[in-house]
Structure 1
Amino acid sequence: MASSSSSPQMKHQVFLSFRGEDTRLNFTSHVLKPLKDTGINVFFDEDTLEKGDELLVTLSQEIATSNLSIIIVLSVNYASSKSCLAELSNIMDRKDTEGHIVLPIFYPVDPSGLRNLAGRFKTPFDDHEPEKLDQVQQWQAAFVEVASLEVLMKNWLE
C-alpha cells in the first residue's frame, strides 16, 4: 500500500472499540492494561475524548490515525448503540479500502448468531430500521462481516 502525503499520520497503534456501559470497567480494562503495559499506544475514548467533541467526527479521525482495531462485539448491547455501529462500519470500510487490520473479540457471544443476525442480534437493527434504512443496512453488513472474521481466524489458526 503506497503512502501519500494526504494520508493521516498514525497516532495510535490500536483503536479499541467497545460498548462502554457493558465492558468499560471490567473486560475492556483487562484488555487495555496489558496493551499499555507493553508500550502499545491505544486509543481509548475515556483517555482521549474531550467533552464537547463531536463524537462521530472525532472517532472517525481516531480510527483513520490507527493501524489496528480490536472490536469487542457484545451481545445485543453493541448493536443497540448507533455510535458503536457507525464506528464499526467505519472500521470495516477502512479494512476493505486501506487494509486496516481488524481483530474481533467476541465477548461473550457466539459469532454465528452475529453472522446470521438472528434472535437477540436482530432486534437492535429492527429498532434502528425506521430511521435511515441505507445506514442501517450498512451497519448490518459491517456487523455480519466482522462476525465472519472469526471463521477466517479459526481457519488460519488450524
Structure 2
Amino acid sequence: MASSSKPKSIYDVFLNFRGTDLCNNFLGHLYKALNQNGIYTFIDREEMRKGDQISAALMKAIEQSCIAIIIFSEDYASSHWCLEEATKIMECKEQNDLTVLPVFYKVDPREVRGGKERYGKALAKHESKFGKDSEKVKRWKKALFNAGNLSWWHLNDGPSNN
C-alpha cells in the first residue's frame, strides 16, 4: 500500500548502474544530457563524499529522488550493491510512488526478469555465497522480476528480440 507522505525530494533522478559496464559510454552521455537540461541527478561517483557510509548514503539518495533510472547491463546482477539499490528502488516505488524507468542496455528484459543466462549465473553465485534460501537473494530476484515488468527502453547494438 502506498504511503500518503512522500519524503522530501532532493534529486530529480537517481541513476542505478553497474559502473564497469557503462561509465565511459552510455552512462556518461545520459548523465551529461540530464545535467545540461537542468535535471539534478544523483550518480554515486559524483555525489558520494569521501568518508560517506556507502549503503546509508545511497539508500537515502534513492529515498530523496523523484525518479530512478535502473540501467540493466550485462554484468549488472553480479554486483550485490546494484541489487540492493534495485531492491530499495522497487520498495520506494511501492511505498512512496517513486517513478522507476528501467533501461535494458545490451541485455534482454526477459533475461533480467526471468533470471536467465548471465543474470541466472550471477544469482546462482549469490545463492552459493548467501545460501539457496537467502531472504536477501529472494528480495533481489523479486526486485529484478518487478523492474523487468515495467515499461522500459531496450538499447542494443543489434535487433531487439521483444
Normalising by the residue count of structure 2, what TM-score does the alignment of the two structures yield? 0.86
* Paired position in structure 2 for 1:126: 124
Contact 1:86 1:139 in 2 (8 A): yes
Matched, 1:86 2:87: no
| 8 A contact 1:111–1:150 mirrored in 2 | no
Work out whether residues 72 and 106 of structure 1, in 8 Å CA contact, stay in contact via their aligned partners in 2.
Answer: yes
Alpha-carbon distance, 1:2 to partner: 3.8
Contact 2:4–2:96, Cα closer than 8 Å, also in 1: no
What is the CA distance between 1:48 and its match in structure 2?
0.7
**How many residues end up aligned between the 2 structures?**
149
**Matching residue's letter, 1:31:** L
Shift of 1:24: 1.1
Equivalent residue for 1:52?
Answer: 51
Query: How far, CA to CA, are the matches of 1:52 and 1:83 in structure 2?
Result: 17
Q: 1:96 to 1:8 in 2, by over 3 A?
A: closer
Deviations 1:107-152 (A, max 9, x none): 011101212111221011111113151000100110111111147x
Gaps of 5+ in 2: 155-162
Equivalent residue, structure 1, for 2:143: 142
Determine the C-alpha separation between the residues in 1 that align with 2:113 and 2:83: 15
| Runs ≥4 residues deviating over 6 A | none
- What is the rounded CA distance, in whole Å, between the counterparts of 1:129 and 1:87 in structure 2? 18
Identity of aligned residues (%): 36
- AA at the equivalent of 2:91: D
Residue number in structure 1 paired with 2:70: 71
1: CA distance, partners of 2:117 / 2:15: 26
Checking the alignment, whether the CA contact within 8 Å between 1:79 and 1:125 is kept in structure 2 is: yes
Q: SS of the counterpart of 2:15?
A: strand
Of Structure 1 and Structure 2, which has the larger fraction of its residues in helix?
1
Please tell me the root mean square deviation across aligned C-alpha atoms, in Å: 1.8
Report what 2:159 is aligned to. none
Corresponding position: 1:38 with 2:8? no
Paired residue secondary structure (2:138):
helix
Structure 1, unaligned runs of 5 or more: none
